[in-house]
Structure 1
């Protein structure tokens, strides 16, 4: 099953994607769907007005998650290109909802930064309330998967040992276009999903999710030891090698650049970078 949050003339609405149509679910966004205890069966069988998907405008998949937990240094290729040792535990930081944009929205390059970098990532969306989860419970709590690009202001990220200030600039983070439920990707995820980022038509990142150091269930279990995860919370699982900051010379997003992030089994984000004045 695939779920999306669409923009309309009156705001946003949650929809189930059925082939080339979107079925309205009568709720404002996917976060509201996941808040229902019976969301899996309800969303699968709900009936509503239908829209042509090719005309849809996507809002951020979950516009205001309660938590956006991001994982740094989680692909072996990226850890090596950054010159670091493999970590024993996940490296965590946070992002705030104001950073999120839709699958086709413009990425805002702030006037304050000259080093906005791309970071294509698989996003894990939580579907059940979970605390101190063992591996089985952690896996069962995953609603499904989406795409996120953790666009990062490197010149702000490295102003201090703490990364937050470079990671959550407003209007910088594409998230969507859909939630693909965990049951639909179970076999594919185990074999590994190809994650690709393209900049102006050139592939800059290509990796297989089997290169993840800490897999989605391990991340849910780890984070749930620290705090309660609730339906609609998001974990960005980290980026593979190929980021602009690690290139020689470094390369960053420029005004007008088109950034495409895709996993064929999930979808694609197509976002144009726009420099703020």
Structure 2
């Protein structure tokens, strides 16, 4: 059975705990980072029992379960539905698209997020987050049955994105790394080997102001966790506590323009003119996030056996 790990503050001091229902079992550990918690206290986490849960969840301040000491790695165009709504063709993306977000963008699942004053096209992207359990040696070949060896658990990620920075400037890192643009949590859910086999059944839902925008299952991923771990291990070091956001399905605010607009942009406008048109049309799109908007995001199996909780994010003005 999965184990729900949370990081929280009580009296201003960050702490780790295991959540059982609406109660927390505090962990008496010194672990400044997620990686240290998982590397040094793995057995303690699993040995924690519900009878040790004495702290009401309502009494504490929620903190992100992935600390800012970790790498924040992301996959792009990893869902067929998202590729289609972006006006792209899947055959043009036979490769796994990898980029990073600044770890300083990580924030709590219920923390308000400030939309920078110069950003008009703020978008949302619900994603399944994978958290590393162990270092992955260079050249490791990871199979589907090997996930429990390398991965500790899963969490919810909202890859907030300033489309008017990311796309016209070709700056994924810049457009996605403003402070607060990475709500993570509310929990890090550790999975058993049997539960890891169920990751395709995880059901992602995101709503803005009560209106459902994204609704999909993780089985729709193009490049699955095992393939991604194998590819990343060939590139660079992966360490305990590192976070991999695995891409988003259809339903984002950013959509491909219609065919007439695409024709005009491709054949009659300069690059600068094309992006001016994109931003102008985007400002009239009510799906982009504005101050006062509220986002609810959840990931769970339909039978509730694996439940990552719910994010509740409010967008605010500077």
TM above 0.5: yes
Mapped pair 1:272 → 2:308: no
For residues 225-264 of structure 1, the aligned pairs below 5 Å read 225-246=234-255, 250=285, 251-264=287-300
Mapped pair 1:40 → 2:10: no
Mapped pair 1:135 → 2:135: no
Q: CA–CA distance in 2 between the matches of 1:254 and 1:161?
A: 23
* Greater Rg over alpha carbons, structure: 2
Q: Secondary structure at the match of 1:218?
A: helix
Q: CA–CA distance in 2 between the matches of 1:187 and 1:229?
A: 22
For residues 192-231 of structure 1, the aligned pairs below 5 Å read 192-231=201-240
| CA deviation after TM superposition for structure 1 residue 121, in Å | 0.6
Q: CA–CA distance in 2 between the matches of 1:62 and 1:210?
A: 24
Asked whether the 8 Å contact 1:22–1:53 carries over to 2, the reply is yes
| Residue in structure 1 matched with residue 56 of structure 2 by the alignment | 52
Q: CA–CA distance in 2 between the matches of 1:13 and 1:221?
A: 33
Q: Which runs of 5+ in 2 are unaligned?
A: 258-283, 301-306
Q: CA–CA distance in 1 between the matches of 2:148 and 2:28?
A: 28
Q: Secondary structure at the match of 2:222?
A: coil
Q: Taking structure 1 as reference, are residues 59 and 225 closer, same or farther at Cα in structure 2, changes over 3 Å only?
A: same
Q: CA–CA distance in 2 between the matches of 1:104 and 1:3?
A: 16
User: 1:216-275, CA deviations, whole angstroms, 9 ceiling, x for partnerless residues?
Assistant: 222122111101100000000011100001177632111110011111321110010001
Q: CA–CA distance in 2 between the matches of 1:89 and 1:197?
A: 27
Which protein is richer in strand relative to its size? 1
Asked whether the 8 Å contact 1:139–1:217 carries over to 2, the reply is no
Asked whether the 8 Å contact 1:4–1:30 carries over to 2, the reply is no
Which protein is richer in helix relative to its size? 2
Mapped pair 1:18 → 2:54: no
Normalised to the residue count of structure 2, the TM-score between the two structures is: 0.80
Asked whether the 8 Å contact 1:130–1:138 carries over to 2, the reply is no
| CA deviation after TM superposition for structure 1 residue 32, in Å | 3.0
User: 1:35-90, CA deviations, whole angstroms, 9 ceiling, x for partnerless residues?
Assistant: 31xx3322112476731124332111112142100111001100111122222221
Q: CA–CA distance in 2 between the matches of 1:217 and 1:181?
A: 17
Aligned length: 273
Tell me the C-alpha RMSD between the 2 structures.
Answer: 1.9
Normalised to the residue count of structure 1, the TM-score between the two structures is: 0.92
Deviates more, 1:27-36 or 1:123-132: 27-36
